[in-house]
Structure formats: structure tokens, C-alpha cells
Amino acid sequence: MQLRQYRKNRSLSLDDVRTTENKIKSMISNLDELIRELEHMTRIIDRNVEQTALYKLYDYNKDLFSIGYDCENNQLSDSYYDLMASESRMTSFLAIITKQVPVEHWYKLNRTFTLYHDHRTLASWSGTMFEYYMPLILMRNYRYSIFDETYHSVLQAQMEYGKMKNKPWGVSESGYYYYDLDLNYQYKAFGVPNIGFKRGLINDYVVSPYSTYLALCINKDPCFDNLETLKKEGADGPYGLYEAIDYTKERLEENEDKKIVKSYMAHHLGM
């Protein structure tokens, strides 16, 4: 009797081992496939970087990138990316290291400093998280540099601005609670006053969760706390946190304190 039970248990144990072994083989196979897909994506990205003619948007007289090309008049637009505190800094960096534009371009970018309370930071156009932190996804940060000081100061400014509003923090470019005729959410830049040159920033308060994700590498603890607050505010949706929460009074009903912008934008989730 004991011998039969032993053999039965031994058989079950062998079956468990085989099941586990098959699961491991399947996981390894899936991992190999994932690695192949990532390597393929890397080759595509490298090819796109190598083949993109960034210099065609470069004004060699001003040593700056134009914001675009006027196809009707067959000329560069007469507006330029001229600030160091801008998402376009990444384009400038790529264009220089691929030798499409001269290194002098880097020194043409404006480095105006401004203050938010006692926090010194490079000034951007809109005071958004996107302008400051998007380049940090790909570019290295150096301690005690003007960028390092700016990253920490902007995060502090964003948190203090949120505290002043008694709301979660994190304002950037995002959708907001206003529709066009096709019922699409509208989109624009929202930022912290005093660190952005743009006027009227104080008129809106729209918090975008991706703004918090961008700052995780600077100071993760307040970011985790803010994400939890956003969930409690109703930002959690079926595919993660929604695009934004709009706290702007002019877009709320009398008995409301917020509107959830229930959309997802691929480039924000990607950041």
C-alpha cells in the first residue's frame, strides 16, 4: 500500500516537473521572440535617425531650427526654436552629433534663467513638464549642471503650484475638457506661471498624469504620492491613467470641482 502511494506521488511529482519544464521552455521561447522584435525595432529607429534630413529645417543665417516648413510659399516658417529649455533640444543634439548642423547652433539657444519663489530654472515658452523633461528620456543628466538644477527646480515649482491650488500637481501639454464639432477633446499647453514666457498660463489648471511619470527619475517618492492622489481623484481608467483632469472653473458646472478627460494619447503613454 505504501509502495503504491509512493509511486503515485512520484508520478505526480514527475508530472509537475515536466509541466514546469514546459512552462520555462515556453517563457524562454517568448523571451527570444521579444528580443528579436526589440532588435528589429532598434534597427528601424537607427535607420530613421540616419535617414532623417534634419538640416532641411535649419536656418543657417540664424543658426536655429525653424518650427516648420511653409509648403504654399516654399520656405521655412518665420518662427524658431530658440530656447534651451525645450523639447526641441533633443533634435538639436541629434542634428549636431550626426553632423547635419554646426555645433555653433547649441550656443545660440537661449539660456535665460527665471525664479519660481526661490527656485532658479531655465525659462521655457510654456512652463510645461513636456518641454523640460522629454529630452531627459534620451539625454544624460550631469549633476550640478544648469540642466540638473533646472530639473529639480521645475519639479519643486510644479509641486508648489499644485499645493497652492490645493490640487494634484503636474501640468503640461494635454487634452482638456472642451470639444470641437466632432466631439474631440481639444489640446494645448498648460504650464506653471513665472517659469514660462507665454501669457495666460494662470487662467487654466489641467493636470496630466504623464507629467508625473516624466519626473520619476528626478524624485520618485513625491511622484508615487501624486499618482496615488490622481487615482483617488478618478483618473484611473481601463488602460491606465486617463489623459488629464481639468480643474478650470470656467469649464465646470456649478456643483463640480473637476472634469476627467477620458482619452489616451500614445505619445504621452510612450513617455
Q: Which residue has the cell 534597427?
A: 43
The tens digit of pLDDT for each residue in 135-191 reads 999 899 999 999 999 999 999 999 999 999 999 999 999 999 999 999 999 999 999
Mean pLDDT of the chain: 91
**Kind and range of the H or E element at 187?**
strand 185-189
Cβ contacts of 212 within 8 Å, gap of 6 or more:
169, 170, 223, 226, 227, 230
pLDDT at residue number 3:
47
pLDDT at residue number 132:
97
The tens digit of pLDDT for each residue in 181-223 reads 999 999 999 999 989 999 999 999 999 999 999 999 999 999 9
Spatial CA neighbour of 235 closest among 209, 270, 271, 257: 209
Identify the DSSP state of 112: -
- pTM for the complete prediction? 0.83
pLDDT at residue number 18:
77
Distance between CA atoms of 175 and 179, rounded to whole angstroms?
A: 10
> Which amino acid, one-letter code, is at 200?
G
The dihedral built from the CA positions of residue 70, 74, 75 and 81, taken in this order, carries a sign that is positive
